[in-house]
Amino acid sequence: MSNLVLTLFLTVAVTSSINAGPLHASCKIKWIFGIPCSDVKQKIVNQFEAWKGPEGCKNGGEKCLYTLTSQSDTELKGVHETPVKHYKDDLTFTMKSDGNVCNVDGYSTSELWYAILDHSTNYCNLHNLITGSGLDKVSGYTETTSDSVCTQYSSADCEKY
């Protein structure tokens, strides 16, 4: 059993060093929106609600099966389930107001402890909610992430995932 654990650890370490990304399938994104955080929060909540059922999966995408699990003034938490294999990823949006500008830290991580690569699913989990809600169109919008903090970010195809 200890050889299996060692082999798994080495596989994770080698794969991560090759990909130069996180050791676990996950994604961190920073956004800036030129609108108040209360508006940002409501748009994200509305998008969770719009994509809670399986309807958005019909054409092969993954704009579906989102569940909002908790919310406070400055944080939203939820889960996204992939429609085919039913993998689950935990999502967190943390908001900080700076006048009428909202700074948001987004984080998505696979619930599977052994997940290493994800075909950019964790990135798309977050990005799709932002674009689906239209937040990418508000004034002052910026999105910042990279392969070093977001698994397979540079190969993202969010129409598929």
Q: What is the three-class DSSP state of 18?
A: helix
Q: Per-residue pLDDT averaged across 152-161, rounded?
A: 92
N-to-C CA span, the chain: 35
pLDDT reading at 69 higher than 60: yes
- The Cα 111–Cα 125 span in angstroms is 13
The pLDDT value given to residue 67: 98
Comparing 62 with 20, the larger pLDDT belongs to 62
Long-range interactions of 59-64: CB distance < 8 A, separation 24+: 60/160, 61/159, 61/160, 61/161, 62/121, 62/124, 62/125, 62/128, 62/160, 62/161, 63/128, 63/132
Q: Per-residue pLDDT averaged across 113-136, rounded?
A: 95
The pLDDT value given to residue 96: 98
Q: Which of 17, 33, 23 is nearest to 150 (CA)?
A: 23
Domains of the chain: 2-155 (3.30.530.50)
Q: What's the order of all strands across the beta sheet hosting 66-71?
A: 66-71, 75-81, 88-98, 101-110, 26-33, 142-144
- The Cα 38–Cα 93 span in angstroms is 13
The pLDDT value given to residue 2: 57
Q: Which of 120, 85, 126, 119 is nearest to 105 (CA)?
A: 126
pLDDT reading at 16 higher than 70: no
Comparing 129 with 2, the larger pLDDT belongs to 129
Instruction: Enumerate the β-bridge partners of residue 29.
Output: 106
